[in-house]
Amino acid sequence: MALSERDRAILDFERSWWTEPGPKELAIRERFDLSPTRYYQVLTELLESADALAYDPLVVRRLRRMRDRRRRARFEGRSAEPPGR
């Protein structure tokens, strides 16, 4: 399945959302007209897409690593933050 324009826009947003002023959740609502919950559902689906990986491998791999770190932390019952933070 090829990426839609919205899918590409979401990946582009994830690449640089922190450079924008204001909370991420507000930017998600304004830019994509999605609730943060729905946005993260779509993003999770994108992380499993070969097309998303081909479109922006650095962002997809970074987000997969973050997701996997959070999952491991939940499983092990500890914080997902790296040491020193």
- Calculate mean pLDDT across residues 36-54: 96
Burial 35-48 (b: 16+ CB within 10 A, else e): eeeebeeebeebbe
SS3 83: coil
What are the residues whose beta carbons fall under 8 Å from the beta carbon of 56, sequence distance 6 or more? 11, 12, 15
- Domain positions in the chain are 5-73
Phi/psi of residue 78, each to 5°? -140, 175
How does pLDDT run across 18-27, given as a tens digit for each residue? 888 889 999 9
What is the pTM assigned to this prediction?
0.80
